[in-house]
Amino acid sequence: MSNSPIMQQLSLPLNILNTEPKTTSQFQEILKTLNMTNSPGWPDKFGELIHNWCTKKSYSPIKTLSLFTGGGGLDIAFHDCGFQIIKMLELEPKYIKTLETNSQPGKYLENSQPICINIRDYFPSPELEIDFIIGGPPCQTFSAAGRRASGVPGTNDTRGKLFLEYVRILKKLQPKGFLFENVYGIIGAENGKAWQTIQTAFQEAGYTIYYRILDAADYGVPQHRERLFIVGLKTGNYLFPAPTHGPDSIGKEPFYTALAAVKDINISEKKLEIKGKYGHLLTDIPPGLNYSFYTDKMGHPQPIFSWRSKFSDFLYKADPEMPVRTIKAQGGQYTGPFSWENRRFSIAELKRLQTFPDAYEIVGNRSVCIEQIGNSVPPQLGRILALGILEQVMGVKLPFSMQYLSPTQKLGFRQRKRQLTKRYAEKAEEAIAKFSTQSLEKLQTVSLSINNYPNQRNIEKFLSTDFGWHDLPKSNSVKIYLNYDLHSSCWLIDAGKSQLRDKKNQYSIDIIPSANFPDWVLNTERVKLIASDWDLEVFTGLWKAFEEKLRQITGKADLVQLSGYYQYQPKIKMTMSFSRELETNSIWRVVESIIKGIGVKTQLSTQKLAFLWGVNTEDIFQYMQCLRKIGYEVRNHNTNPQIIPGEYLIPYTFPTLNPKSVQLRKNLEFRI
């Protein structure tokens, strides 16, 4: 007989398969059996009652080893379902503090042993007896952020090979089974090669594997969070539990909404307001939407951002009537989810949205707490998976009936995601329609009138080494003199290192809307940037000056929003002209090519770039370093490991680095 997971699952006894249709809600039956109500924070009570029931049973302890423990989400789940967490391995000392706090007598994970260690240095004792292993290695190498940065490194990155350490420990300890969690991008990494390698490694360790991509919201978590789960078994079979909530659940139990999860939380945390350049924008964003509300694609009358120019969690405001989108472990000042009350969620609220127990103490400052929450498996999802393992693998009869997915049964969360896109587009349309005609006229008048910004001569601005643009001198800043002459026919911006009276122009850059986007937001036909000095800092200063006026007059956030995200056709067209002939290998000739769009927007080898720019191949790295110094974002294998060694990516035809740029803190050259 075939040894495939599907064939093995089809051979399950009927009493275990338990997939016959029912009309009543499985979740409501569980609540009734446990004598509990569907009140705010109900997952805490669910975990408590399940744990009490398991404690009263007389079956032998299921000794469990936790790998890549993080903040302990899976450990909470399996602990509640009767698994004895023996050891918890975690690399980060700041996360270990949380595990140590909650492992003390009388605490949630009492008697568990946290170990701060690199898994590569962990060699379990031959005497250690383990029945089950849980955990998932860091997922950055397979994440959406990696895909957005031009593919994922997968197993080409050292973090992507940590599953091999997992396999090494499996071979050493030979438990009955394991549960492995990661982002679903792992399946598509390296065109599926990484996923095949991972499956083969687990199978060669002696385990039959069963896997599914699940959405946490389908299992009682007030958060949409899609993750890959692998269950590996030495013997026996495994079916994944059927959803307890949502349209795919038995009885169509409604989702556990964000509002229901947090409505009884008393907010004691301070400094939850959102300030800064974009904080005020959150107020008008309808719940469920993000920065895209302020794009022309959504129909906003005065777009600030370009479509898909930001991550989806940028200025994302949660919808109280739905589960929130995925809580991210790390993010910037404007990374949501934000509350529908136009503030940040408190840590207590984020714990509820991730179904961490109120009594479970997460140690650290706000950012460290969010890291631990965002990196964890939501405990309520983990509990349902653990109960399925308890019943099918460990042979424990549960006090209520569990329903399971057949091997061929499909879930609809991907399709529902597409439906949500339509729903939120309609909400954006409704919100914009509520703007009064007077408000729109006022918005357009204030934003587009160049008369509000009179023409100026010999204005002093200061460019700092981190590409900040200031009115007053800063440490290590240089002075740039500027002339502004803004008219409906042309915006003229001149820059130089000294006052600009009667100075000769050395080069100019002409900017016009591209043929496919004739209606740009600038109240002028074209823009002309003029430099009076052969100076790279003057070049950067010109772009900073243009960006500043763009922001002041139109409300556009930055130059990227004017041109559009680099993976789309640019909305502007540019040319560069010189007052005299340049040397062939001059940096200015390279800049001229980039401004024309030559050698940008795609990964190219040094040889290809040298050919396109008409320079020597051995000089490419030097040119790339120079481009970084004048504010261009340049990526290579050292800044983004998913980029093939020897290739480069310059996303935009103009400088985009600023003091808050992630790329600013990366280096093109490998450093130990």
Whether the pLDDT of residue 308 is over 60: the answer is yes
Task: Give the span between the Cα atoms of 202 and 293, in whole angstroms.
Answer: 45
Output the DSSP codes for 20-70.
---SS-HHHHHHHHHT----TTHHHHHHHHHHHHHHHS-SPPEEEEESS-T
Q: Which of 54, 81, 139, 369 is catalytic?
A: 139
Q: Are strands 478-486 and 456-463 parallel, antiparallel or unpaired?
A: antiparallel
> Which pair of structure tokens corresponds to residue 579?
């007052």
Q: Are strands 491-496 and 478-486 parallel, antiparallel or unpaired?
A: antiparallel
Q: In what order do the strands lie in the sheet with 478-486?
A: 469-470, 456-463, 478-486, 491-496, 527-531, 507-513, 572-578
Evaluate the CA torsion angle 626, 627, 629, 634 in order and state its sign: negative
Cβ–Cβ < 8 Å for 170, 205: yes
Task: Give the span between the Cα atoms of 177 and 637, in whole angstroms.
Answer: 37
Task: Give the span between the Cα atoms of 214 and 375, in whole angstroms.
Answer: 16
Q: Are strands 62-66 and 132-135 parallel, antiparallel or unpaired?
A: parallel
Model pLDDT for residues 25-84, shown as the tens digit of each residue: 899 999 999 999 999 999 999 999 999 999 998 788 899 999 999 999 999 999 999 999
Per-residue pLDDT band for 188 (boundaries 50, 70, 90) equals confident
Which residues lie closer than 8 Å to 515 by C-beta, 6 or more apart?
A: 573
Least confident of 57-61, 107-111, 181-185, 306-310: 57-61
Whether the pLDDT of residue 154 is over 50: the answer is no
Least confident of 107-121, 242-256, 577-591: 577-591
Q: In what order do the strands lie in the sheet with 208-215?
A: 113-116, 83-90, 62-66, 132-135, 177-182, 226-233, 208-215
pLDDT number for residue 436: 56
Higher local confidence (pLDDT), 131 or 503: 131
φ and ψ of 268, to 5 deg: -110, -20
> Which pair of structure tokens corresponds to residue 645?
């060694």
pLDDT number for residue 8: 39
Cβ–Cβ < 8 Å for 156, 201: no
Task: Give the span between the Cα atoms of 389 and 63, in whole angstroms.
Answer: 14
Active-site annotation holds for 139: yes
Tell me which residue has tokens 């990366």: 666
Q: What is the 3-state secondary structure (H, E, C) of 382-438?
A: HHHHHHHHHHHCCCCCCCCCCCECCCCCCCCHHHHHHHHHHHHHHHHHHHHHCCCHH
Which residues lie closer than 8 Å to 611 by C-beta, 6 or more apart?
A: none
Whether the pLDDT of residue 529 is over 80: the answer is yes
Task: Give the span between the Cα atoms of 270 and 344, in whole angstroms.
Answer: 10
Buried b / exposed e across 29-61, counting CB within 10 Å, b at 16+? bbbeebeeeeeebbbbbbbebbbebbeeeeeee
Task: Give the span between the Cα atoms of 156 and 277, in whole angstroms.
Answer: 38
> Which pair of structure tokens corresponds to residue 202?
């687990």
Whether the pLDDT of residue 331 is over 60: the answer is yes
Task: Give the span between the Cα atoms of 421 and 416, in whole angstroms.
Answer: 9
E strands, 447-594, in order:
456-463, 469-470, 478-486, 491-496, 507-513, 527-531, 572-578
Angle between helical axes of 42-56 and 73-80 (0-180°, round to 10): 50
pLDDT number for residue 457: 86
Tell me which residue has tokens 């991509």: 213
φ and ψ of 441, to 5 deg: -65, -40
Of 598, 618, 597, 596, whose CA–CA distance to 606 is shortest?
618
Whether the pLDDT of residue 450 is over 90: the answer is no
Task: Please state the rounded mean pLDDT for residues 665-672.
Answer: 80
pLDDT number for residue 83: 97
pLDDT number for residue 75: 98
Task: Please state the rounded mean pLDDT for residues 260-269.
Answer: 94
Buried b / exposed e across 333-353, counting CB within 10 Å, b at 16+? ebbbbbbbebebbbbbbbbbb
Whether the pLDDT of residue 541 is over 70: the answer is yes
Task: Give the span between the Cα atoms of 556 and 544, in whole angstroms.
Answer: 14
Of 146, 155, 151, 134, whose CA–CA distance to 83 is shortest?
134
Which residues lie closer than 8 Å to 275 by C-beta, 6 or more apart?
A: none
Task: Please state the rounded mean pLDDT for residues 465-474.
Answer: 96
Per-residue pLDDT band for 452 (boundaries 50, 70, 90) equals low
Per-residue pLDDT band for 14 (boundaries 50, 70, 90) equals very low
Cβ–Cβ < 8 Å for 593, 599: yes
Task: Give the span between the Cα atoms of 548 and 532, in whole angstroms.
Answer: 20
Per-residue pLDDT band for 11 (boundaries 50, 70, 90) equals very low
Q: In the chain, where are the structural domains located?
A: 5-262+356-404, 279-345+419-433, 444-580, 600-672
Mean pLDDT of the chain: 89
Task: Give the span between the Cα atoms of 340 and 283, in whole angstroms.
Answer: 9
Burial of 271 (0-12, 13-18, 19+ CB in 10 A): exposed
- pTM for this predicted structure: 0.84
Model pLDDT for residues 607-617, shown as the tens digit of each residue: 999 999 999 99
Whether the pLDDT of residue 158 is over 70: the answer is no
Domain 5-262+356-404: homologous superfamily in CATH: Vaccinia Virus protein VP39 (3.40.50.150)
Task: Give the span between the Cα atoms of 279 and 283, in whole angstroms.
Answer: 8
pLDDT number for residue 670: 73
Model pLDDT for residues 165-182, shown as the tens digit of each residue: 999 999 999 999 999 999
Model pLDDT for residues 550-572, shown as the tens digit of each residue: 998 888 899 999 999 999 999 99
Q: Give the Cβ contact number of residue 669 at 10 Å.
A: 10
